[in-house]
Each structure stands twice: as C-alpha cells, then as structure tokens.
Amino acid sequence: MAESQMAASLRYRRILLKLGGEALGPRHTSEAGEPRIGIDPVAVRRIAAEVKRVHDLGVEVAMVIGGGNIWRGADAAAAGMDRATADYVGMLATVMNSLAMQDAMEKLGLVTRVQTAIEMPPVAEPFIRRRAVRHLEKGRVVILAAGSGNPFFTTDTAAALRAIELNAQVLLKATKVDGVYDDDPMRNANARKFEELSYMRALNMGLKVMDSTAISLCKDNRLPIVVFNLDQPGALEAIMRGEKRGTLVHDLEESVIGERA
C-alpha cells in the first residue's frame, strides 16, 4: 500500500499514549512476595517496538509515562512524607523512565525528544508546546516527562493536559486489562466490560479509568479516551486502523451506554 493510502486508512493521525510506570517495571516479585521496583529493559524494548509499528504507519506519537515502578508519591505521603515533596520525587522517577524509553526507541531507529515540565537542560528539553508540535510534525516521538510540573496532579491528568495542548485526536491509556470493567476482572470473573462509555458515567460510577480531573479535562475538551491492554501484541496498531479494542470513553448518549463485551 502506498504511503498516502496507508495514512488515509488510519483512524488517528496524532495520538498521546499514556503508560503507567508499572508497564516498564519487572513483572516478577521478590522472594518476600513484594513487587520489584526498577526498569526492565526487556519490557521497555517491547513497548518501544509496539510504538514503532504505529509510527511506521505515519502516526504522530507523543507519550506520557508514569513513575510507579520506581516511586509512588501517594504512598510516601501516607507514610509521613510531605505530599508536595513526595510528588516532586515522583516527577523525577518519570524522567528516568522517559530516558530509558528514549534509549530503547532510538536503538530501533526512531528519532525522539524528551521534554520535561521541570527544566533539566543536561538531559532533556523543557516542555514548549510549539516546539513539541513541531517535533511531531517532523516525525519525532515526543516523550513528555515530569508530569505537569505541579504536585497534587497525577500523570493521568498531565497526559490529558498535554494531549489537549498538542491537539491529539485521542488519549490512549494502556493498562493491564483490555478495557474498562464495572469491577476488577482480576478478582471477579463476572465483571462486565464496557465497549463504550460516556465521560459522565465513568465519573459517576467511580470507575478506575483515569482520575476524575483527567476525565473532566477530556470531557470539557471532547477528547476521546481509549483504555486498552498494551500487552496484547498489535493492539495499538489495530486501534490506529480503526479496529475495536478496549473501551472507548467519549461523548455518548446515556441511552446507549453500558454495552457489554
């Protein structure tokens, strides 16, 4: 297929992919049964390869990566650390993940830029909206680190904010499961999956799609969210081609929501 025909067949041309930090971390646990922390190079390379598949189709890709595989600000605050300080440490964790992802992507031949909400010139560019847009237009993958640069706001909210700022057509939230359920499918085999969901129902039901601030931002700016499982090979590419994967959260009449898988 010619490049122009391939591009014309895509559902989305500019995306923002949100990854939790756990996606980059070790999948096994310690001898004591506790989750291991850190960065797993194998997991990073696998994700980088999935992103390259869609980039090769002509999709402009921006990314926001959490830091939960290294540090959780909320947990540290609950243990007595000042919340703002704990959140700033978490922002630095996202920079570490972003640099690891940049390295993996560039080894695959992708041209990338890491931009941070907290300035650190030796390792990354500061986030400048116009510069980020220009990078995307030139075919560079832009990895947006350090959240929004503000404590008390999650990386989900940062992802929604950056997606809106960069005029992304969709916010893709990668999770461990293949969509949004009315209960935890890992614990409840009878949990119902939603094929589509309205912003308001996601908020009112307290579903763990993203935090409420992030969903509200998307709702106010009519930015659709697709929640999907990045562990399924080719899932990201399938979404770009218009196939139904995961759960679509968008402007939807209440009378037609709640469809089951």
Lowest pLDDT segment from 94-103, 171-180, 252-261? 252-261
Instruction: Determine if residue 68 is labeled as part of a ligand binding site.
Output: yes
**pLDDT tier at 258, thresholds 50, 70, 90:** very low
Of 61, 71, 73, the closest CA to residue 21 belongs to: 71
Instruction: Determine if residue 166 is labeled as part of a ligand binding site.
Output: no
pLDDT at 31: 57
pLDDT at 261: 36
**pLDDT tier at 41, thresholds 50, 70, 90:** very high
Instruction: Determine if residue 129 is labeled as part of a ligand binding site.
Output: no
How far apart are the C-alpha atoms of 122 and 218, rounded to whole Å? 33
Lowest pLDDT segment from 36-50, 149-163, 202-216? 202-216
Instruction: Determine if residue 149 is labeled as part of a ligand binding site.
Output: yes
Instruction: Determine if residue 228 is labeled as part of a ligand binding site.
Output: no
Tell me phi and psi for residue 241, to 5 degrees.
Answer: -85, 0
For residue 220, pLDDT over 60 is answered with yes
How far apart are the C-alpha atoms of 131 and 62, rounded to whole Å? 13
Instruction: Determine if residue 18 is labeled as part of a ligand binding site.
Output: yes
Instruction: Determine if residue 21 is labeled as part of a ligand binding site.
Output: yes
3-state secondary structure of 200: helix
Instruction: Determine if residue 19 is labeled as part of a ligand binding site.
Output: yes
Instruction: Determine if residue 29 is labeled as part of a ligand binding site.
Output: no
pLDDT at 3: 53
Q: Taking the model in full, what pTM does it have?
A: 0.90
Instruction: Determine if residue 85 is labeled as part of a ligand binding site.
Output: no
* Contact between 50 and 131 (Cβ < 8 Å): no
Instruction: Determine if residue 25 is labeled as part of a ligand binding site.
Output: no
Instruction: Determine if residue 181 is labeled as part of a ligand binding site.
Output: yes
* Contact between 173 and 18 (Cβ < 8 Å): yes
Centroid of chain to Cα 254: 26
Q: Where are the domains of the chain?
A: 3-256
How far apart are the C-alpha atoms of 189 and 171, rounded to whole Å? 28
Instruction: Determine if residue 127 is labeled as part of a ligand binding site.
Output: no
Of 66, 65, 59, the closest CA to residue 140 belongs to: 59
CATH second-level architecture of 3-256? 3-Layer(aba) Sandwich (3.40)
Instruction: Determine if residue 72 is labeled as part of a ligand binding site.
Output: yes
pLDDT > 90 fraction of the chain, expressed in percent and rounded: 75
pLDDT at 260: 39
How far apart are the C-alpha atoms of 227 and 250, rounded to whole Å? 11
Type of residue at 107: K
